[in-house]
């Protein structure tokens, strides 16, 4: 089965040896997105709300670049530096993801994220 590499210009460049997303068959697998400004590469925001907003904008750009969208997401994974930020992350997440069409989701607290971000989100979606 053929793999198609996705590199949308309006999403942050990877900070390591990986691609923003890979399409295989009818699914796109995204790399985790952190709250990077797509132009400067700097972290955006200091609060969980600000960072979640930027992460979801980045993730949306990657999904659209692959021919998909949040509405076609089947699984999302949220990585939080601090589970106490769950409510704040979830409030912003709910602005992008409609409950009636929400994908399956896991939320995991981790010891540390790249560039000391507060949140990282990845997705699997239909293209």
Domains belonging to the chain, first-starting first, are 3-126 (3.30.1330.40)
Task: Give the list of residues 6+ apart from residue 54 with CB closer than 8 angstroms, or none.
Answer: 35, 36, 37, 44, 45
Binned at pLDDT 50, 70 and 90, residue 99 comes out as confident
Predicted TM-score (pTM) above 0.95: yes
Q: What is the mean pLDDT of the chain?
A: 97
Q: What's the rounded mean pLDDT across residues 110-116?
A: 97
pLDDT at 15 over 90: no
CA-closest candidate to residue 120, choices 61, 32, 46: 32
Task: Give the list of residues 6+ apart from residue 57 with CB closer than 8 angstroms, or none.
Answer: none
Start-to-end CA distance of the chain, whole Å, equals 15
């Amino acid at each position: 089965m053929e793999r198609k590499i996705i590199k949308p210009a309006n999403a942050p460049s990877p900070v390591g040896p990986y691609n923003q997303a890979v399409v295989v068959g009818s699914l796109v697998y995204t790399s985790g997105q952190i709250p990077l400004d797509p132009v400067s590469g700097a972290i955006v925001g200091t609060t969980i709300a600000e960072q979640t907003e930027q992460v979801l904008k980045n993730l949306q750009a990657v999904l659209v670049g692959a021919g998909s969208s949040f509405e076609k997401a089947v699984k999302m994974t949220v990585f939080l530096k601090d589970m106490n930020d769950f409510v704040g992350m979830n409030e912003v997440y709910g602005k992008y993801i409609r409950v009636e069409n929400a994908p399956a989701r896991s939320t995991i607290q981790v010891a540390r994220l790249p560039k000391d971000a507060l949140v990282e989100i990845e997705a699997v979606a239909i293209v």
